[in-house]
Amino acid sequence: MPATLKDLKSQFLEYVEIEKGRSVKTVENYDRYLTRFLTFAKVTKPRDISETLVREFRIALNRSTGTSGTMKKNTQNYHLIALRAFLKFMRKRDVDSLNPERIELAKVGGRDLDLISSDELDRLMNGPKGDTLTALRDKAVLELFFSTGLRVSELCSLNQDLDLSRDQFSIRGKGEKIRVVFLSESAKKAVRAYLEKRADMSDALFVGYGMSNKKGSKDLPRLTPRSVERLVKRYAVKAGITRKVTPHIIRHSFATDLLENGADLRSVQALLGHANIATTQVYTHVTDKHLLEVHKAFHGKRRH
């Protein structure tokens, strides 16, 4: 008996997690987007997925409204990307269904990049004061973010066995890909000061010191991405930054700092762990100042 779309979806999600090495969060997103499509489509056989059905689904997405208004084009595209990946998976297994190449993504405008100024970044980095464990931890978190350009999930996964005698370490990022990131002297100094004050037995590099922890506990919980987001937000408010500041914005600052100081795009791509350079190209606008200098230096020299 041929497999139903529901069965194939379960196989696809297992494939994405195990063979493709995607995170649990990514698998959950794929599941949500595909479930939405299958609920809308009301079909059970792969061959019943048609261009007409996909077009009707796109119209439904475009007209759908939620608490934040109509669905953004990017979010609509996420549904189509998941569906296209599912169709590619079925094609690899010789399951007769719609050609994934028949699905085109919606046109979206250029991505706006949230950035903070170098002055705001300085104020943010100088936010943690004192020599308490929490202050030393927070200083180490901020310094490590800016030195390495790590994603928040990558930073939270680090353990105490980080070798501070070296200027680099390896990190396993998205898709289980390993890359090398580098430690600045200020980052090493901040992490070392924090670790020297630690007296717990936790493996995690960054741990929580909440009220729920028993006094004198030797096994503290690892900081979660949500905790780190709150930490960054708190110091942004303290620094007087009015716009929303997240760990990802510090990652943006890491990338733009490199480009503004002459780094090439391919190197920045490798340091950020982007699989596709098109993802890194969102940062190229920061090099516009160099284009202005070129224009001034070389344009109109023959005119009098």
SS (H, E, C) 22-63: CCHHHHHHHHHHHHHHHHHHCCCCHHHCCHHHHHHHHHHHHH
Q: Is 194 a catalytic residue?
A: no
Q: Is 251 a catalytic residue?
A: yes
* Element holding 172 (H helix, E strand): strand 168-172
Residue of 20, 174, 179, 222 marked catalytic: 174
In angstroms, what CA-CA distances link 6 with 42, 97, 127? 11, 14, 51
Residue of 73, 189, 192, 248 marked catalytic: 248
Distance, in Å, from the CA atom of 81 to the CA atom of 103, rounded to the nearest integer, reads 9
- Look up residue 201 and give its amino acid: M
Report helix, strand or coil for 288.
Answer: helix
Residue of 79, 188, 251, 252 marked catalytic: 251
Residue of 79, 84, 151, 188 marked catalytic: 151
Which residues face 180 on adjacent strands? 170
Q: Is 33 a catalytic residue?
A: no
Q: Is 299 a catalytic residue?
A: no
Q: Evaluate whether 42 touches 10 at the Cβ level (below 8 Å).
A: no
**Nearest C-alpha neighbor of 17 from the set 85, 78, 67, 65:** 85
Which residues have a catalytic role annotated?
151, 174, 248, 251, 274, 283
